[in-house]
A and B are shown apart, each in its own frame.
Chain A
Amino acid sequence: MPDVQPLVSDFVLKLKRRKVEGSHAVARQTAELLRSVVSQHRMGSSANQAAALADAVRAVGEQLIAANPIGVMAKFFSSTNVDMQDMNSRMLWPGVNPAELAVGNIVRRVLHIIKEEDISSTAVGIEGLSVTVDSDDEYDSEHDDGPALSAAVLAAHARNALRAPSLQTLLEDIPVSPAISRTASSTGDSDGKSKSAGDKSSTRKLKHDVITAIGDLIDEIDSCYEPISEQAVELIHQNEVILTLGRSRTVKEFLYAAKEKKRSFRVFVAEGAPRYQGHVLAKELVEKGVQTTVITDSAVFAMISRVNMVIVGAHAIMANGGVIAPVGMNMVALAAQRHAVPFVVVAGSHKLCPLYPHNPEVLLNELKSPSDLLDFGEFSDCMNFSTQDGSPLLNVVNPTFDYVPPKLVSLFVTDTGGHSPSYMYRLIAEYYSADDLVVRRKSGS
């Protein structure tokens, strides 16, 4: 794909220079980039079209994920409750961008989409014989949980009719995870309608469907706040006191939604040193007429006994239910646990990361410039190496993220509803296929 290469390298550069920040923006831009990758992809005459497409996406994904040269060793633990078929993926995991795990998430989502589209089209082609084995209730829950995705699948099926039987061979390559088969089962009821479609070539259909599905994914990322904030009134009750740390757009929308539903509540905002995004949030909340109190981060323990619920945003949710969140969050979670205050994490589904964290405090972290903490000029005499004995005496460490272990989290609120930490692996299995966890070109691995 020589046509997209400039776009890709441009985005890689932006990621490298930390010009796009925030998991939402990153997720969106990644999805958009992958959409153009797919649309630019020239479908060859080879039999395995879907695999070729997936390979193209994987190639780009590899570059994007490697955009940050911090090698992260995220180990896949062989936890018993993970139904991963491919246990080979229990390997060292180099090249994960800790700052933006969302890149990898979206790449895997797109790979998953390609696979699903391919399977569904194949399934339709062979009258869905091979896939109607799963239980119906699981299918139902899937249907509720991911309406956008299912709708896309349905829409795609409505237009598809003729399937190249050769694509069936793809199925044999892919270890079919339960998630895939479940989604594929949703094609069952659409079979009849889809028969009427025209005679376009199947490869074009596949590509078109994938593009549409990625478009839906982008919409989903954009509108992830709505389904989350719809749940606000169920969680925030009259005259409650909410504590949050820093600023998260999801939290803001969540609180706005509760306010719009005429709930009256008060918010304690911990300022979130050293970036002090809490100040921004406080301003925004006051504009909407929410009773707001700003406290320092260190005052969280003092105030927590008066708080009914802690609601915070996240940078990423790991497969074990742990949370990568702005620095200081672990302390808040500990305070909440000490006083038995519910600790609720709100996050869109693009923040779900299928990786298991290993030493996340260090490896999934990003150290930023010390200038956030102190003024260079004031301290310049402490860093005059010529008059010291050559080794720096003053070190400043400014980590961006904190890791909150799953046992400290009471509830996750995602766009598919509320879940407990122990359920996250299941949710993740619905969005990602197990063999995509390592984004590597097939040829390379």
Chain B
Amino acid sequence: MSQKKSRSRGGGGGAAASGDDHEDLARPPPLQAVLLADSFTLKFRPITLERPKVLLPLVHMPMIEYTLTWLESAGVDEAFVFCCAHSHQVKEYLDKAGWAGKAGAGSMAVTAVESHDAISAGDALRVIYDRGVIRGDFVLISGDTISNMSLKDALQEHMDRKKKDPFAVMTMIIKHSKPSILTHQTRLGNDEITMAIDPETKELLYYEDRADNSHLYVTIDKDILTNNPTLQLHNDMEDCYIDICSPEVLSLFTDNFDYQHLRRHFVKGLLVDDIMGYKIYTHELRSGYAARIDNFRSYDTVSKDVIQRWTYPMVPDVVSNRDCSESRLRRQGIYVASDVTLSHSAQIGANSVVGSATSIGDNCKVLNSVIGVGCKIGKNVFINGSYIWDHVIIEDGCKVSNSLICDGVHLRAGAIVEPGSVLSFKVEVGKNVTVPAHSKVSLLPQPSNEDSDEELEYADTNSGVTDSPPFSSMRSSGDQAIVPSEEDESGTSETGTCGVVGYIWTSADTGILEEWRQSIAPIPKEKLEELERAVSDEDGSEDESNNLILQDKDDSSDSVVEDDDHISKFEKEVEETFQRAMGGGVNRDNLILEINGLRLAYSLQHADCAGAVFYSIMKSALVAAQSTNNTLLKTTGEALVKWKDLLRNYTKTVDEEMEILLKFEEMCQETTKEFSPLFAKILPFLYDTEVVTEDAILRWAEEKENADESDKVFVKQSEDFIQWLKEAEEEDDEDEE
């Protein structure tokens, strides 16, 4: 009997594990992972003052749960969770969710690594290195990454490459994703990344994630171009922030103790400094999903991806970590838990999730939103595009759009939360109070010792800040009264009618202007229109930003744009000089010298000078002549006679004479239309004063023959004169014969 027992048990286990056995043989050392349960940024403040980012719920499940689940299903045997800020909370969660200390066959062992003085990813990896727990290749991921990709291919590629080239230390997972042309952002709200990749080997050659959009060009080291016969430039790739690393990566971090940021310091450092010839490769994700939640915008985007099931099987109706009753998927991506109290007149729109034990009152409207567990929502509430966490009370007639509302928030009747707002834990909003767009409200005051270096924060937040309430950091916005947080009920009720319980934070380092980039709210219409206009102004250069033409081409197009500007400036200066000369004082020779000086300063041709001087002369004539055509003709004649010597200085060749004619034409068409009826009369005059020769006029007429009708107006006007010139020339020719 006992024999039978063991056999049957073994049979059960063996069959379950048989699928994995082959993989085990292929990769002898256990696959390890380092999970950074700390983002080392401030993007999710003020929420992260009270709860670490990785424990923030994303569609009812903490982010770290997605990450751990994925690691386990991707075949990782051992994961090290590095926690720093709020480490006790993270560890508590790992215990509670059953990750820690679970070391059964086939499941992943999770170990928490704690450190309190780490202030960056670099520090975290140095701590991991000191522990000496990483024995082989490992997956480096941060706790806010959502993925369902299969690691097998990427891992295999990494292994194969390493066998051939021991210097291939890292494989970066990237994903195709088109950034918006308007905002130069990925859909996750990050700046678009420019990468240069060798199409053959997939080696990463260049990485820039903070490209300055205003310039629309990238600068790539000449060596990269010379050393690599082919390279692909991408701006349509998204960095998934999932890396497969060799153990050397850890020692590199230890050797270069100034490396803080994974991308900005480590990747760029490796690419630019060429340390020991280490190389980084990329693996493009073909099927599967991966994204990192870096800011509020990506929180919104990834939530929607989860609801739309891109992260399958990590979708609300399949996995639920809590004991809450299962949610059910209805049509149009609506997930409603089975024990939700839903009024018959309440309307739940597409792509919404409602957690269990939540009640929703009459005539409510919920669109594109996630509502947590145990919320109470009153009557006539309108919720759009918002993320409402657990146990939130929203009273009748509230309006919440595109905002993030944390646990325990209380919105009293008629409160309005405008787009982009973030209400942190237990904030209360009074009756009929409007929380202005993009405001961040927390019970904790904003730390006053804000320094702009975002790398160096987040870690030490759970101590030192909370115990000194700096009233100076309270900013009142508009007409509403803000009362500091008070623990007792009397305080809150007192302020309940007039404002918000909590501190309204001023936007930290980004400034209110940039707030729209990374908030939950969609970009306002006006902003989009503005950007659209900016793009259409740039016109041709827009194409370049899409296609990523190499730098030299970019430069040339830039210089053309600058050119126009240049010349008009020059003309203006010439005109000013000329006017000074007209007013007397300046000697003619000096005038020529001065104009020559200007020409050299602007590094222009003689022809340009001729045009400019001619323009100035004509302008002066126009100013002197006041209005009528007759006087204008007269004064023009006088001016030309007076200044023809000056002009002749510049009209050495036919080209320059042509320039004068073209300039004259342009003036008639655009700037000084007064001349246009007189064109035919002034042209013979120019000929007579020998400012232009007959060759120039004939060539001008010839050139214009093929032009548009509109351009031919002046040629037609002076047809008689040109005809006469031609005949005269023929006569000359005959004479010569």
Contact = CB atoms under 8 A, between A and B. Distances in A.
A69 B180 contact: no
Nearest to A16: B319
Interface stretch (A111-119, A318-326, A363-371, A429-437): A363-371
A71 B106 CA distance: 28
A380 B351 contact: no
B326 A95 contact: yes
B13 A17 contact: no
B177 A391 contact: no
B313 A94 contact: no
B163 interface: no
Contact of B318 (A16, A33, A392): A16
Contacts of B16: 10-11, 14, 29
Contacts of B238: 380
Interface in B158-210: 175-178, 180, 182-183, 185, 187, 189
A62 to B, nearest CB: 13
Interface in A388-437: 388-392, 395-396, 398
Given A69-B327, A367-B329, A395-B333, A10 B106 contact: yes
A153 to B, nearest CB: 19
A308 interface: no
Contacts of B402: 390
Contacts of A389: 522
B178 A381 contact: yes
Given A376-B175, A384-B180, A385-B304, A392 B312 contact: no
A315 to B, nearest CB: 17
A99 to B, nearest CB: 9
A386 B180 contact: yes
Nearest to A35: B8
Contact of A40 (B5, B175, B320, B385): B5
A170 interface: no
Contact of B385 (A215, A368, A387, A391): A391
Interface in A1-19: 6-7, 10-11, 13-14, 16-19
A36 B177 contact: no
B522 A386 contact: yes
B8 A380 contact: no
Contact of A28 (B15, B177, B304, B351): B15
A395 B349 CA distance: 14
Contact of B288 (A13, A28, A371): A371
B363 interface: no
Contact of B309 (A18, A369, A385, A386): A369
A386 B329 contact: no
Contact of A39 (B5, B176, B351): B5
B187 A385 contact: yes
A25 to B, nearest CB: 9
A69 B317 contact: yes
B313 A18 contact: yes
A44 interface: no
B359 interface: no
Nearest to A68: B318
B287 interface: yes
Contacts, number: 161
A187 B309 CA distance: 53
Contacts of B325: 69
A19 B148 CA distance: 12
A73 to B, nearest CB: 9
Contact of B528 (A19, A376, A387): A387
A256 B705 CA distance: 81
Interface in B283-304: 287-289, 297, 300-301, 304
A70 B317 contact: yes
B107 interface: yes
Nearest to A367: B309
A381 B317 contact: no
B246 interface: no
Nearest to B519: A386
A381 B236 CA distance: 10
Contacts of A253: none
Nearest to A11: B16
Given A29-B16, A35-B12, A396 B1 contact: no
Contacts of A370: 308-310
Most buried by B among A16, A29, A39: A39
B553 interface: no
A18 B238 CA distance: 27
A69 B336 CA distance: 12
Contacts of A204: 1
B331 to A, nearest CB: 7
Contact of B187 (A35, A95, A384): A384
Contacts of A395: 308, 332-333, 350-351
Nearest to A381: B178
Nearest to A70: B317
Nearest to B520: A390
Contacts of A36: 8-9, 12
B367 interface: yes
A209 to B, nearest CB: 12
Interface string B63-80: 000000100010000000
A387 B182 contact: yes
B384 interface: yes
A199 interface: no
B176 A378 contact: yes
A385 B11 contact: no
A390 B311 CA distance: 20
28 contacts: A14-B16, A16-B318, A40-B5, A40-B9, A68-B318, A70-B329, A94-B338, A204-B1, A211-B8, A362-B330, A362-B331, A369-B289, A371-B289, A375-B176, A376-B175, A376-B176, A376-B177, A376-B289, A377-B175, A380-B177, A383-B187, A383-B301, A385-B522, A386-B189, A387-B183, A391-B351, A391-B368, A395-B333
Return the 9 tightest CB-CB contacts between A and B, nearest first: A377-B176, A69-B326, A369-B312, A390-B522, A380-B177, A32-B12, A384-B187, A381-B178, A390-B385
